Structure 1
Amino acid sequence: MTLDDVPAVAACRVFGWRRAYAGIVPQSYLDRMDLAEEAELRRTHFTKAGPRTVNLVAERDGLVVAWACFGPYRETEGVPLYSTPERPVAELYTLYALPEHHSTGAGRALMTASLERAHAAGFAALSLWVLKENAVARRFYEKAGCTWDGAEESFEIGGATVDEVRYVSLLSAAAAAAPSRG
């Protein structure tokens, strides 16, 4: 991803949210999402990202159709048991595709690239949070080799409480031997 990709990445997030979270997140919240505001937020995050944060885009015919971002696990508490100081856990912060590019392989390519790059960067595992009610995304991550590790949390968005579950993909044989939550 480059700074020039920010407007397209903002579109992936806004339209991806509207498709993925319809019926889960209040529609009024989804309808209020603004492309210009999202682009400014993405620009700020991109320019302030730490050295271990990786932003990737998938392109078709020269246009950005999907976006993923991962980096060090953000939480200080509840870190997965397989994290060590030498081999920390990465977190997939986001993966969204434009709705017309769902089921085209763009998301799968970004997921594969994220797993490969996280492994190459020395992370023990790649974790992610997904809305518990988002069956499509949960199947997507399960097909990519991620498993639910038993962790759950709730947050409020648009006046509604939604639940998330944490999925994890271990990235090495050594990490696979470590205990996990279940």
Structure 2
Amino acid sequence: MVQHSGTPPERAFEITGATPDGAEAVLAVKDASWREAYAHLLPAAFLAGGLGDSPARTERWRRFLAPESPGRFALVRFRGRVVGFAGAGPARDDDAPAEEELYTVYVLAEMHGTGAGRAVVERVLADRPASLWVFEDNPRARAFYGKLGFVPDGARHLDEIGGATLPEIRMVRGARGDA
């Protein structure tokens, strides 16, 4: 078990590698995290039922978590249950400011403040320069990424999700050309 400094022992967690058989658990955390984090951004009807469990979605995540995938994924486990995950790998933007991209990080609200988010990001990204995309109106996530050394680089785009148009900003740390 990993214990964040100042975290009571009953809140200890572990970070493990992700494998394709964890796809359902990853999707459960992702969906719950969306409901917790994006209620102010996305329509309630979409969050209530629009995320969808489907064999195709599960299979897509099994491929993401496969050893031959270009991405690296890790899980946060608390008392044996998956409560978070992160994934990173080669940057996907044509104008990527770094070779690596932090693709995804979700940790259930019950684990906020325990160090689980930082630990799972360190597992998949270490201290490598990287970029990421985050909803502009997501102050908690932006503050979390800021603590990890990420800053907005001025890139912005719109994402259509669940009938809403949401601006995203790119954040980077250790970008090419930085001193």
TM over 0.5: yes
Tell me which amino acid in the other structure corresponds to 1:94: T
Report the Cα offset of residue 169 of structure 1: 1.4
Cα contact 1:15–1:99 (8 A) shared by 2: no
Partners of 2:168 and 2:107 lie apart in 1 by: 20
Q: Displaced runs of 4+ in structure 1, greater than 4 A?
A: 35-38
Equivalent of 1:164 in 148, 162, 168 = 168
Aligned pairs for 1:92-131 (under 5 A) are 92-116=102-126, 119=128, 125-131=129-135
Partners of 2:120 and 2:160 lie apart in 1 by: 28
Secondary structure at the residue paired with 1:176? coil
Partners of 1:69 and 1:45 lie apart in 2 by: 9
Partners of 1:65 and 1:2 lie apart in 2 by: 15
Report the Cα offset of residue 132 of structure 1: 0.2
Partners of 1:99 and 1:10 lie apart in 2 by: 15
Q: TM-score, normalised by structure 2?
A: 0.79
Tell me which amino acid in the other structure corresponds to 2:44: Q
Asked whether 1:135 is paired with 2:161, we answer no
Q: Residues 19 and 57 of structure 1: is their aligned pair in 2 closer, same or farther, counting only changes over 3 Å? A: same
Partners of 1:40 and 1:145 lie apart in 2 by: 33
Aligned residues: 160
Q: RMSD of the TM alignment (CA)?
A: 2.2
Tell me which amino acid in the other structure corresponds to 2:30: R
Cα contact 2:131–2:172 (8 A) shared by 1: yes
Partners of 1:35 and 1:101 lie apart in 2 by: 24
Equivalent of 2:178 in 169, 176, 179 = 176
Aligned-pair identity in percent equals 38
Report the Cα offset of residue 156 of structure 1: 1.0
Q: TM-score, normalised by structure 1?
A: 0.78
Deviations 1:71-106 (A, max 9, x none): 111122x322xx4xxxxx211110001232222221
Asked whether 1:58 is paired with 2:68, we answer no
Equivalent of 1:20 in 12, 37, 40 = 37
Cα contact 1:66–1:107 (8 A) shared by 2: yes
Residue 58 of structure 2 corresponds to 39
Unaligned residue ranges in structure 1 (runs of 5+)? 84-88, 120-124, 178-182
